[in-house]
Structure 1
Amino acid sequence: MSESSKSAISLAQINQYHDNYLARKDAKVIQRSVSHQGILATSADFASDVDMSPVFSIDLNTGKVANQKQSGRCWMFAALNTMRHHLADLFNLTDFELSQNYTNFWDKFEKANYFYENVLATADQPRTSRKVAFLMETPQQDGGQWDMLCAIIEKYGIAPKSVMPETYNSSKSSELNSVLNTKLRKDAIVLRKLVADGATDDKIQSTRQSMLADVYKILSYTLGEPVQKFDFEYRDDDKNYHIDRDLTPLSFYEKYVGWDLSEYVSIINSPTDDKPYNKTYTVEMLGNVVGGRQVKHLNVDIQTFKDLAIKQLKDGQSVWFGCDVGKSSDRQKGIMDVNAYQKDELLDVDLSMSKAERLDYGESLMTHAMVLTGVDLVDDKPTKWKVENSWGEKVGTKGYFVMSDAWLDEYCYQVVVNKKYLSEDLQQAQSEAPALLEPWDPMGALASN
């Protein structure tokens, strides 16, 4: 008998599987329920609704949630939200938003140049190499990382939403992304051919500048040209009128936020063998601003990870974080809880994996960024967390979600905190040069959405 014959499924095996299936007395009951209602509705555990009541011992007042609509800019919304929370406290301006479209414009423009840089860096590799294929799969996208937004702000500043509001294409980005990726792939063909033909560096750079001019034009048509100078006019929460004239995005950031962004660092929890704790990591080919801030993660154990977030919340400052939002979560109720669904029990199968195994085998990765705005501490230990999402007010509790501490343990991978909360040993570790991870590492996945 051949090896393939041994592996083929026989009719006898199928009959045995059938008998095993019917041996469960409630098999037909489960079949009727799941086939009509689906796996999630049938396995939902309503005890989770009680456990995840939206009451917290530490609860920051952060106003109305924003809405990223049909775009993948969660990382950008979450980061700008942490900054507007600070601005709101300083200037008595609760329901206020920073322009996500302004940072979106410059992010996409810089990503195009970053793509050209990576195309030229890999031009000596065959088109079928994994790195070249990875680049061409998605030349640019809406996703990103905290450090990438910092790179944009450090170069271009920020602006209030009132002076550069959303457009059709910022809120519903699929058409723009499709056209822009077509443009970038075509440009990659030209750049790789120039290198193959031995073109001079001057010729390559002049071609690249022409390509960037086209990208700027596309973005200006779809998102509007980025504002350069503006007046900031508003009424605060006490209805007092204010106007601040002749601001630039950089001067606006300095006056109204004023954070030293170098003080805010990315902390990850990735318990995989390839990433020892208390070491730093970066991801190859991940970034936006050529010559700008590098994406850099410090990996720590989960207890340290949570302690750092709690310290910042206790000081009244919200926390940007990245997670795998689709796992064991109810989007409409705004609940993220490992007990939200009992799929193993319903289907009588073992679906359990460790956090490291999920990362290593593609079961989980960072898919969404939000903001921690509260935590419920019992005997000084977290039981659940308050989360500000960017999906509008129609989900969760007016847009806010509740996350169990156990869910955070399993599906949260990144927080951003002020490095003053790190111990001396961790500050030293964070300052070290990072190890280089492959472009497709799950710690870079948030930027691929």
Structure 2
Amino acid sequence: MTTGNDDTRPAMARNLTPDEVELFEKAFASRPANQLMQNAVTQTSVDDVALDRRVLTGIDHSVSHHLDDWKATNQKQSGRCWMFAGLNLLRVGAAEKLGVKDFEFSQNYLLWWDKFERANHFLEAVVETSGRDVDDRTVAGLLKDPIGDGGQWNMFVALVAKHGLVPKSAMPETDSSSATRAMNRALGTLLRQGARDVRGLAAEGPEAQRECKREVLAAVHRVLSIHLGTPPRRFLWQWEDKDKEFHRDGWLTPKEFADAYVQLPIDEYVCLVHDPRESSPVGRTFTVEYLGNIVDAPPVIYLNAGIDQLKQLAMDSIVGGEPVWFGCDVAKMMRSDVGVWDAALFDYAGVYDASFTMDKADRLLHHDTEMTHAMLFTGVDVVDGNPRRWRVENSWGGENADKGFWTMNDSWFGEHVFEIAVRRSALPADLAAALDGDPIVLPSWDPMGALAR
């Protein structure tokens, strides 16, 4: 910092004194670069000022292995990235089987069931914790976000296993599926009110609490149906393929449709994370307390691994012809208009004359990072056996980047990617064996659960 170390200065007081503030002002004014940056940033976005054009212009968007040949999807004003990324992975095989160039499963259908199941999951957690004070940290966390849009890979698999899938035509988007805030606001109030009532019956036991839960869920069902429509129990499925040939499968249930058109064994996939904190041993499994959406579904399990193992497994999957679902902290070092990520894309240290020295572990420990977004790797540029950059299907529509497909330099993967979902059979023997160990249970507020909040 420009203020340096001056042993003649008095010790810093507990409070900010006028003399201390004057010292800071003089230090700021003493460097012409500070005035230059002030002039620039007060008139222009700091990201435009800090953008390192050498990095930006050095990013080549081509990749050696490129899988996508379909249109990008758009989650719009919703937090359904994990769901879109999962369905984007599955739609590849479905489109091939249907003989069509582009295909989408109904994201609205899974949203409806996720919300309804999550309401029940939340209320069961309320029953379980009803003996604790309302300001207990776990209870307070449950009440803070009872019905968010986020989710995890295991939660996606659980939804498909229980409720199946339908084509987008059978349950299309609504205004509220594309912009969930108003619906979530009503649902959140109903669920917090329900939590108050369920907790108030703690002395009468779980049976009385679950009778109260039924009334709350009836209201949740109405809200969801009003905002999103009613999920179909059966639908007539017929389509025209890319050669203009007509097909009809007849009346199908959502589970029958999923059984027919999901071409990947998604229940065989596992989640690897890169959690470099000292408290998170490599080769151990983890779960997060109260993380989930379906009561009695398999828990959300992470296997901690080195970042190079995540890269290798993701690269091998893409080279083998299969995209990869992943979770990351999306907004770090991101340029959305051109659709790129690079760990050194912005020179904030140069703009602010300040050092930014936290590594990935420090950022997790000090709440400067967490998983915020899930997407799909659809390409990788391999040089001498190592990944150099990655192609990403985002779910933010086709206006930016390469019609919605972004470019990630490998430097960014190491710093800001946290999780991938891959087949268990692809793991080396030591990691595969570690999956059978008892998971370490992280508290409900741990950043490893952030993608679902």
TM-score tier by shorter-chain length is over 0.9
* Aligned-pair CA distance for 1:11: 3.8
Contact 1:112-1:184 within 8 A present in 2 as well: yes
Query: How many Å separate the matches in 2 of 1:438 and 1:425?
Result: 26
What amino acid does structure 1 have at the position aligned with 2:254?
Answer: P
User: Are 2:77 and 1:70 aligned?
Assistant: yes
Paired position in structure 2 for 1:242: 247
CA deviations over 1:256-300 (Å, ceiling 9, x no partner) = 114332211111001001110011000001101001121010010
* Aligned-pair CA distance for 1:86: 2.0
Query: How many Å separate the matches in 1 of 2:368 and 2:68?
Result: 35
User: Are 2:373 and 1:364 aligned?
Assistant: no
Paired position in structure 1 for 2:428: 423
Contact 1:86-1:317 within 8 A present in 2 as well: no
Contact 1:62-1:373 within 8 A present in 2 as well: no
What amino acid does structure 1 have at the position aligned with 2:408?
Answer: M
Query: How many Å separate the matches in 1 of 2:177 and 2:104?
Result: 15
Paired position in structure 2 for 1:7: 14
Q: Give 2:389's match in structure 1, choosing from 384, 391, 398.
A: 384
User: Are 2:326 and 1:321 aligned?
Assistant: yes
Query: How many Å separate the matches in 2 of 1:236 and 1:432?
Result: 46
SS at match of 2:32: coil
Paired position in structure 1 for 2:181: 174
CA deviations over 1:291-328 (Å, ceiling 9, x no partner) = 11210100100000111111111111100000011101
What aligned pairs does 1:24-43 form with structure 2 within 5 A after superposition?
24-43=31-50
SS at match of 2:406: strand
Contact 1:74-1:369 within 8 A present in 2 as well: yes
Contact 2:282-2:305 within 8 A present in 1 as well: yes
* Aligned-pair CA distance for 1:200: 4.2
* Aligned-pair CA distance for 1:222: 1.1
Higher mean Cα deviation, 280-289 or 239-248? 239-248
Divergent runs of 4+, >4 A = none
Query: How many Å separate the matches in 1 of 2:199 and 2:360?
Result: 40
Contact 2:286-2:440 within 8 A present in 1 as well: yes
Query: How many Å separate the matches in 2 of 1:207 and 1:8?
Result: 51
Query: How many Å separate the matches in 2 of 1:62 and 1:428?
Result: 36
Summarize the Cα distance change of 1:292–1:4 in structure 2 as closer, same or farther, 3 Å threshold.
farther
CA deviations over 1:319-371 (Å, ceiling 9, x no partner) = 00000111010112111111211110122110121000001101000000010
What aligned pairs does 1:201-350 form with structure 2 within 5 A after superposition?
201-350=206-355
Summarize the Cα distance change of 1:236–1:431 in structure 2 as closer, same or farther, 3 Å threshold.
farther
Contact 1:62-1:85 within 8 A present in 2 as well: no
Q: TM-score, structure 2 length as denominator?
A: 0.95
How many residues align? The count is 444
* Aligned-pair CA distance for 1:5: 8.0
Query: How many Å separate the matches in 1 of 2:199 and 2:69?
Result: 48
SS at match of 2:374: strand
Contact 2:94-2:263 within 8 A present in 1 as well: no
CA deviations over 1:129-152 (Å, ceiling 9, x no partner) = 111111111111111111001111
Query: How many Å separate the matches in 2 of 1:211 and 1:7?
Result: 50
Which consecutive residues of structure 2, in runs of 5 or more, have no partner in the other structure? 1-9
Paired position in structure 1 for 2:96: 89
Summarize the Cα distance change of 1:107–1:372 in structure 2 as closer, same or farther, 3 Å threshold.
same
Query: How many Å separate the matches in 1 of 2:213 and 2:36?
Result: 64
Paired position in structure 1 for 2:111: 104
What amino acid does structure 2 have at the position aligned with 1:403?
Answer: M
* Aligned-pair CA distance for 1:38: 2.7
Query: How many Å separate the matches in 2 of 1:28 and 1:201?
Result: 65
Query: How many Å separate the matches in 1 of 2:23 and 2:380?
Result: 50
Paired position in structure 1 for 2:6: none
> Could you tell me the percent identity over the aligned residues?
38
Paired position in structure 1 for 2:442: 437
SS at match of 1:282: strand
Contact 1:386-1:400 within 8 A present in 2 as well: yes
* Aligned-pair CA distance for 1:234: 1.7
Query: How many Å separate the matches in 2 of 1:4 and 1:184?
Result: 52
Query: How many Å separate the matches in 2 of 1:115 and 1:10?
Result: 48
User: Are 2:144 and 1:137 aligned?
Assistant: yes
Query: How many Å separate the matches in 2 of 1:200 and 1:355?
Result: 45
User: Are 2:35 and 1:21 aligned?
Assistant: no
Which consecutive residues of structure 1, in runs of 5 or more, have no partner in the other structure? none
CA deviations over 1:68-89 (Å, ceiling 9, x no partner) = 0110100000000000012223
Contact 1:66-1:392 within 8 A present in 2 as well: yes
Query: How many Å separate the matches in 2 of 1:403 and 1:375?
Result: 9
* Aligned-pair CA distance for 1:12: 3.8
User: Are 2:58 and 1:47 aligned?
Assistant: no
CA deviations over 1:214-238 (Å, ceiling 9, x no partner) = 2112111111111111122222222
Q: Give 1:352's match in structure 2, choosing from 350, 357, 363.
A: 357
Q: TM-score, structure 1 length as denominator?
A: 0.96
Q: What is the Cα-based RMSD across aligned positions, in Å?
A: 1.6
